[in-house]
Structure 1
Amino acid sequence: MARIAVIGAGTGAMAAAARLAVAGHRVTVYERTRTYGGAVGRVERDGFSFDTGPGLLPLPAVFRDLFVKTGREPLEECVDLVQVDPSSRHVFADGTGAVLPNASRAGAVAALDEALGAGAGQRWGDFLVRAREAWDRTRRPLLEEPLWPDWQVLGEREPYPSVPHKRLLRTRRAATLAEIGAWELRDPRLAALLESHALAYGLDPRTAPASTAVLPYMEYAFGTWYVRGGLRELARALYERCTARRVEFVFGAEAVGILEADGRAAGVEFADGTTAEADVVVAGIAPGALARAARGTAPRDTDGVAPQPASASRLTVLMALRGARPAGTAHRTVVHTADREGELDALFGPAGALPADPTVTVLRPDDAALVPDPGHEAVTVTATVPAPPAGRERPGGTGLDAHADRLITAAERAVPQLRDRLLWHEVRTPADVAEATGADGGAVPAPAFAAAGGRLLHPGNTTRLPGLYTVGGWSHPGGGLPHAGMSGALVAGLIVEGPEFRGSR
């Protein structure tokens, strides 16, 4: 039985802790804040409740597997997991809209043909078939196995089978998500639908590799899910699973150093000067915090993969509304900008500016647990924004408040009479994300993707320092709730079975 110190109480860290405890190890989780969950937070006020992180759950099978393998109670006995149907509603710049069913390629084809004209749905359906091929080619090495020593193969190979595109005397294949939209979907509304999946993770579709096509495929293949009471309930259930397996939690413990002895990790040093000895250290913290704790030795580049560049964060507006949620309201609505190029130029340009017309995601859960009574509604509006450089907030003090007002204006296209119904609202900025997660600038990690020279891979879960492992969104296989859960499984496997571990089969 080893003494294992886990730094951070995010989803990936708790997933690893629960699995390691079941394997017989003595596990202690040290968290610098006063609660668990990391990005999966909650705000409560006047009887209203809001998620401050992810609002929907893809790939629930990751957590079903975790709960089955760490106890007798399956996931569905610990949380009320429901499938969201329709999966999403889209409001496009030209005023047209489409409502897409959950986990149904045929249903999506029919809905898009009806909303956007004959042929649009078929082009989307054909695209999903090609996206499935990219998923099948990359699923195991990107999600279920430790990062290969020859990861360059993943970086060089584009798994998405692009359709040949003739342009003048040349034949080309789409290498980016934007090129798929332009050359294969051939409708600006379908292109906006496609690109919104990348933008939600802070990725520029003009540079994101074609393999990011797996994002919409995952929704249609495995569905979109919600946990009643909010996604914070999933974090609560995971925390309780850990404590039931005798994982100890120490809150208010900020790790500032990794102890070493005999050339391997030997414990953790904290901001108050105290230390905790350990045989193994699992760090579920962002790259900047880990580099500082490791005295600047950058242990995460073991595999030759640098931390994924993350210049994007999220701005979220939590809104308490008078009046009941209308029957038939979609849980999620994406309101697309009228100026996609302008939005992308602003967000991903050298200066990292706030766009004048943002794409926003509006979440309107049908959940009585989120409101004081049936005569009110809790609405969350989110948009991607640049993450300010480390140590510096975005200049212009009220800039984010002004941008939050733009988000509300955009959301009015999805929620009629929104401002008339508004009781109050709170704005969550990148600074709030940074406070919750410890990530410099409040940056949010994206999942790992193949191609692009390995630019969108994440460092492997082992490090240069024996006995030190990394877990969570900034490690392989990257950001997002299911990916963080997968990282916990990979780290537990590497510790329990050793470096020959190759993932569960």
Structure 2
Amino acid sequence: MIGAGMGAMAAAARLAVAGHRVVVYERTQTYGGAVRRFERDGFAFDTGPGLLTLPAVYRDLFVKTGKEPLEDCVELVQVDPSSRHLFADGSEVCLPNASRAGVVAALDEALGAGTGERWGDFLVRAREAWDRTRRPLLEEPLWPNWQVLARKEPYPGVPHKRLLRTRRASTPAEIGAWELRDERLTALLESCVLGYGLDPRTAPASAAVLPYMEHAFGTWYVRGGIRELARAVYERCLKRRVEFVFDAEVMRILEKDGRATGVELRDGTVAEADHVVADVDPARLKAMTDRPLDADGDVRVNAFTPRPGRFTVLLALRGGRGSGAAHRTVVHAPDPESELDFLGSGVADQPPCPTVTVLRPDDPALAPDDGHESMVLSAVVPSAVDWEDENMVRQYTDHLFEAAEAAIPGLRDRVLWQEVRTPDDTDDETSAFLGAVPAPSLAAGGGRFLHPSNTTRLPGLYRVGGWSHPGGGLPHAGMSGALVAGLIVEGLEFRGSQ
């Protein structure tokens, strides 16, 4: 196993239970991939994902790999409200967790009568897209004829009374303009899509499943930070006798008679294997083998196309969190078009103010005492920017503070110290190309939003984790582990869990 990310560990635990001897070689000194923790002076911060959706993926992993269920290993809590949103016009709304009726009522009260109904109707259509794609896109290995998923848009068309015909949106931006018909509702949808590093103007309409996942299955936090989930999965692997070798960088995948037969490490060590599973980004995997791993002309995620990363500011604050504070606040960009233009090009005289997410966990484990608070500010940014440019870093830091102070007045006066993290830090920790963060796989869009399959053209070599099917995000990484384990244990005829 190459890499100790969440997908790799999910596969490792399942394979060990099935009777395989599993050895994981990790380039860095720790497990978890992008799911990491920064600690200083009694403060602790998640530096990767801060929230979890679809915890059922990890519940299933723990059920299938041991007697202790997930809730015996970590404390899962629902975040309520799920999110607070501050819009450019000064309005705001708090959305309850996993309650369609509650969300509809909150929107009507905060944004005006009718807004809740339009959002509720959108969620019904998003559910239809979810039902159409859930199994082939998330629960099964990517079919050899994956082009079927690439061509057909699963998000349903909407009858248009004036035109006397059905109009089918092809992007989230068109859903906003044609169906939601309110800039604030559009911002709700587009911020969720943007949060995964996707441009709502070019992503397929099937991206509607992303906000649907949150509304239908809830938003969850792991007490002590999401890093605790990585710890629990790592410890489950150890209990199943998975071996971990840290500070061990794999440089080359060995082949014999047209099959992967092991790996070679940087220090020259050779480790033979019946199967090789790689939890690395496509650019790094390509450098480990001389042969093409996918068919010519494959339009799925291009390994060398720069994709967005995340800019994060970790704040150690004097003064307690206070009661009633939302765990997650989204401050929407004042000029979303400029934000998206810059995200795509990385070129602007001045970087525009981005959409900013503020995470304020109600968790005493993250601060030295109740007189202090741990806070994380983040934004999706272009990864192909010179993040060693101090002026660029300073401007983005100021942007994040400006947005956060709209939600939390007087924030700057409370700062004891701050730690700024750019896509370069993600690159250092995960080796992801330019520090990019993978998005979940999506149907339609000509296949450009699908990730490479878990199998490759080199027999015995498998891909797992966020850069392979079914894509990025904690739930999707866990799903990829289940798929790879099934393919190795049951063979290429494996078609997913029933």
Note whether the superposition's TM-score is higher than 0.5. yes
Q: Which residue of 2 aligns with 1:133?
A: 128
DSSP-derived class of the 1:482 partner:
helix
Contact 1:360–1:383 (CA under 8 A) maintained in structure 2: yes
1:125-165 alpha-carbon deviations (Å, 9 max, x no partner): 00000000000000000000000111111111000013145
Q: 1:483 aligns with which of 471, 476, 497?
A: 476
Q: Could you give the per-residue CA deviations for residues 178-202 of structure 1, whole angstroms, max 9, x where no partner exists?
A: 0001110000000000000111011
Q: Verify the 8 A CA contact 1:165 1:173 in the aligned structure 2.
A: no
Find the counterpart in structure 2 of residue 346 from structure 1: 342
CA distance in 2, matches of 1:113, 1:85: 18
- 2:364 aligned with 1:368, yes or no? yes
Q: Distance in 2 between matches of 1:353 and 1:500?
A: 53
Return the alpha-carbon distance in structure 2 between the equivalents of residues 302 and 39 of structure 1. Answer: 31
Q: What's 2:157 paired with?
A: 162
Assess if the C-alpha contact under 8 Å between 2:346 and 2:384 holds in 1.
no
Q: What amino acid maps onto 2:460 in structure 1?
A: G
Aligned counterpart for 1:356 among listed residues 352, 356, 359: 352
2:15 is aligned, of 10, 20, 24, to: 20
Consecutive unaligned residues in structure 1, runs of 5 or more: 1-5
In structure 2, distance between residues paired with 1:206 and 1:462? 31
Q: What is the deviation of 1:351?
A: 3.6
SS at match of 2:287: helix
Q: For 1:302 and 1:46, how far apart are their aligned partners in 2?
A: 52
Q: CA deviation at 1:385?
A: 0.5
1:433 match: 426
* 2:7 and 2:466 in contact (8 A); partners too: yes
Q: Given that residues 301 and 463 in structure 1 are in contact (C-alpha distance below 8 angstroms), is that contact kept between their aligned partners in structure 2? A: no
* Aligned equivalent of 1:418: 411
Counterpart code for 1:332: R
**TM-score, normalised relative to structure 1:** 0.95
Overall identity of the aligned pairs, in %: 71
1:200-245 deviations in whole A, cap 9, x for unaligned? Answer: 0111000111100001110111000000000000000000000000
With over 3 angstroms needed to count, the CA separation of the structure-2 counterparts of 1:245 and 1:458, relative to structure 1, is same
Aligned mate of 1:70, from 57, 65, 69 = 65
1:278-305 CA distance string (max 9 Å, x none): 111000001111000113x231458945
Matched residues in 1 for 2:146 and 2:349: separation? 34
Alignment pair present for 1:504 and 2:489: no
Q: Deviations over 1:234-267 (max 9, x none)?
A: 0000000000000000000001100011210010
Superposition CA RMSD, Å: 1.7
Paired residue type of 1:346? F
Count of aligned residue pairs for this structure pair: 496
The amino acid across from 2:451 in the alignment is: H
**What is aligned with 2:317?**
321
How far apart, in 1, do the equivalents of 2:490 and 2:59 lie? 22
Give the one of 38, 61, 74 matched to 2:56: 61
CA–CA separation in structure 2 for the residues paired with 1:301 and 1:23: 31
- 1:3 maps to none
- Structure 1 CA distance for aligned equivalents of residues 294 and 278 of structure 2: 11
Residue 350 of structure 1 deviates from its aligned partner by 6.5
Secondary structure at the counterpart of residue 58 of structure 1: coil
Q: How does 1:398-477 map to 2 (within 5 A)?
A: 398-477=391-470
Q: Distance in 2 between matches of 1:142 and 1:130?
A: 18
CA shift digits 1:366-423 (9 cap, x unpaired): 000000000011000010001127xxx4463431232112111111111121001111
TM-score when normalising by structure 2: 0.97
Question: How big is the shift at 1:352?
Answer: 7.9
Match of 1:109 in 2: 104
Distance in 2 (alpha carbons) for counterparts of 1:53 and 1:352: 27
The residue that corresponds to 1:83 in the other structure is 78
Aligned letter for 1:339?
D
Distance 1:489 1:225 in 2: 21
